[in-house]
Amino acid sequence: MQFIADSIQQAVEEVFSTMLNMDVKVLETHEGANVPLAESVGVVGSVGMAGKINGTVYMSYSDKLACKLVEDMIGEAPGGVDQPEVTDVIGELANMVAGGMKRRTSEKGYNGLLVPPIVMVGRGIRVDPNDAPIAVFRSFSLPNTDEHLTVRFFAKLEV
């Protein structure tokens, strides 16, 4: 299922380049049972895909990184991660990455309908895939910050 891992990585690189003019670099890659299930601290944007490809992408940011991206995108720093503009930007980034993945997996015959994004904020958010046969992890460095973006995708393919 290398094409799924590739589609995630390419979609993240494309969206951050297009929307934020950021050249993100892959730091860590894990797949299958090696995907770390560490708790996320901060903000998680997620979008589900239902169809021949069936699963959910989770994009995790620290509070600081989420606020920086919002400021970069709309030109004004949010008052905190509980502000609506954080939901808008983090949700939209997840939506665009899922859309980019969907476009790429559709070309391989695996289409899916997207679920509206949800954004979770909290300490110690942990997502368990419950034996999803496909698990992909990518972490990315971003320019001008020490903060990292982590992306997890848990899914199965419908035959």
Partner 1 sequence: MQTATEFSTDLIDGFIDEVTLEVISTMLDWERPAAISKKVSLAPESFTIAEVNGSIGFGGRVTGTVFLSLSSEQASAMAESLIGQPVAADADEVLDVVSELTNMIAGGIKTRLNDAGFATVMTIPSVIRGPSIRVAGKDIQFRLENEFEAAGSSGSFRVIMIGKVSND
156 binds partner 1 (CB under 8 A): yes
What span, in angstroms and rounded, lies between the C-alpha atoms of 41 and 38?
10
HSE at residue 38, side-chain half, CA atoms within 13 A, is 12
What span, in angstroms and rounded, lies between the C-alpha atoms of 118 and 86?
11
Binding characters for partner 1, 117-136, by CB under 8 A (x = yes): xxxxxxxxxxxxxx-x----
Choose the stretch contacting partner 1; rule: CB under 8 A; options: 3-11, 19-27, 88-96, 139-147.
88-96
Distance set, CA 95 to CA 28, 66, 89, 123 (Å): 22, 15, 10, 23
Figure out which of the listed residues 9, 60, 87, 150 binds partner 1, where binding follows CB under 8 A.
Answer: 87
Q: Which residues bind partner 1 (CB under 8 A)?
A: 39, 48-51, 54-56, 82, 84, 87-88, 91-92, 95, 112-130, 132, 154-156
